[in-house]
Amino acid sequence: MSATSHQTVRLSRGRHQGPEQGACVMELASMLAGEPFSDHPRTACPVIGAFLRAYNDGLPDDRRQDLYSYAAKVVGTSSSRKVRRARARLCLEWFAEQTPGGRRPSRMSLLLAGWSLGSVGRAAARAARASADSHTSVLSLMDRLIDLGRPAGALRLDVDALRASPIESAH
């Protein structure tokens, strides 16, 4: 039996002791970053991580697999407090825009009502379960969050390429 790697692990909900039991999107990010297995990798922005952990856990299995490439994309997104605040603001603005009906809650009312990034992520997952359009909107939001604060010309891991071609060991 071969060892589980970033190429073979399947995304699943919840926290895991190791990749043999599965991995959430953020645990996979820790594997790709070469960090200890954790759903809080140091190299990833905590704002993006909070949203993605909640979103990962609320999705049905087939849509959860769409997050695989985001594990690579979040590697290296850890940034300044100013960028983290801008990312949090973008999450809350996105959520306010997604609210059905005429009256959208303001960012401030969401914060005053106790909405955290995790609760916004969970609400996004509920919407994505009902609509492929909502899921597409969340993935677009993730791309915007990741690009926010990323230095121009920064190297990005291509997880699809990593997954497709096995890494050969040096002899």
Q: Which of 160, 165, 166, 157 is nearest to 72 (CA)?
A: 157
Give the residue ranges of the chain where pLDDT is below 70: 1-8, 99-118, 121, 151-171
Domain ranges of the chain: 19-163
Q: What is the pLDDT of residues 24-33, one digit of tens each?
A: 999 999 999 9
User: How confident is the model at residue 10, as a pLDDT?
Assistant: 80
Burial of 123 (0-12, 13-18, 19+ CB in 10 A): middle
Q: Which pLDDT tens digit goes with each residue over 3-32?
A: 655 665 788 888 888 878 889 999 999 999
d(CA 73, CA 147): 9
What distance in Å separates the CA atoms of residue 89 and residue 133, rounded to the nearest whole number?
Answer: 22
The full 3-state SS of the chain, as one line of letters, equals CCCCCCCCCCECCCCCCCHHHCECHHHHHHHHCCCCCCCCCCCCCHHHHHHHHHHHHHCCHHHHHHHHHHHHHCCCCCCCHHHHHHHHHHHHHHHHHHCCCCCCCCHHHHHHCCCCHHHHHHHHHHHHHHCHHHHHHHHHHHHHHHHCCCCCCCCCCCHHHHHHCCCCCCC
High-pLDDT (> 90) share of the chain, %: 28
Residue reference for tokens 């960028």 = 83
